[in-house]
Structure 1
């Protein structure tokens, strides 16, 4: 893999994990949770989907065990939750968080699909594994905070964008397109689709 592509994917991964954990911080702060609760909610949001994927695919060690630096950053941020929340409020706008979240949705969903294909899962199963990886962290976050999961009460396409993007990755993989570029193309599609549906306020029929 070209070093620049490696760096680009690493940066996207870091942005995605931080975006998911920040959404956990915001929800925990809204619920007035203490440092322990904040850490658990942020960690579950960032790694919940990937952990369930690894359990279903019998992959060990879990992703967050292999990459403990991310866990340590979330832990430190949780210890100083009020300061962290104030810094987030000042530095990160809602628009920036939306873009980062869309990157996370794309990258996590496509990576989940890729790992499922590597495990010789059927196409549809692989796509659903990717969608689970991308959206289930948010589901766990909402359940821990005693909320109806956002994807069940917000009719704007979210999981749908991931579903279509994962199929794009599967088709590119089927024609033996370069894996790295397949990841980037499918992730970019999910990112653009998510932002476009949000901007145009597109909603799924009830």
Structure 2
């Protein structure tokens, strides 16, 4: 993997982890969980998708095992998150949750697809691994918070945005577009597509 792409994926992974951790904090606050519950939800949300990706690609050690500082950072944030989130309004929390979820979806989906390609996986398999990496953290978060996973109950495109964005990344890569820009463009597409579905209330047919 090209060094610039490796650096870009490393930065994306960190941003995705903290974006999903924030969404975990907000859901935990909604459920009025204590610091321990908040940490567990945030940890599972932040690393769930990446762990599934690592299992499918047989990558060891798992990303969160190899990068202990991220785990420690989420642990420390969990101690203060309940107190800080009490000072925010419900509307603000919902907006932050939407953006954080969209950011995590885009970043994890494209980084997962890129890693699958680097592992010589076929195109369709790479896309599905990317989509799983993008959505699985949110699925675990919702299950732990006793919610029907968002991917199942919301008819607005969620996994669909990730699926299309991952194919866009593959297309750009196929035409030898600069690898870093390919990652950034595809990630931005997923993020903006997900936010646009809320803005314009776009829904998939039942």
| TM-score scaled by length of structure 1 | 0.87
Question: What CA deviation, in whole Å up to 9, does each residue of 1:8-63 have, x standing for no partner?
Answer: 973x5444322211211122222232322211110111110010110111101211
1:189 paired with 2:150, answer no
Is residue 38–residue 78 contact of structure 1 (8 Å, CA) maintained in 2? yes
Unaligned runs of 5+ in 2: none
What are the Cα deviations for residues 74-130 of structure 1, in whole angstroms up to 9, with x where unaligned? 10122234223235659x654444334322211110000011111111111110100
Determine helix, strand or coil for the equivalent of 1:147. Answer: coil
Instruction: Identify the range of structure 1 (196-205 vs 66-75) with the bigger mean alpha-carbon deviation.
Output: 66-75
Structure 1: stretches of 5+ with no match in the other structure: none
Residue number in structure 2 paired with 1:25? 25
For residues 99-138 of structure 1, the aligned pairs below 5 Å read 99-138=99-138
Query: 1-side partners of 2:62 and 2:3: how far apart?
Result: 26
Q: Aligned equivalents of 1:112 and 1:179: distance in 2?
A: 14
CA RMSD of aligned residues (A): 2.5
Which residue number corresponds to residue 50 of structure 2?
50
CA distance in 2, matches of 1:197, 1:155: 10
Partners of 2:155 and 2:46 lie apart in 1 by: 23
Q: TM-score, normalising length from structure 2?
A: 0.87
Supply the distance in 1 between the matched residues of 2:111 and 2:49 (Cα, whole angstroms). Answer: 11
Corresponding residue SS for 2:86? helix
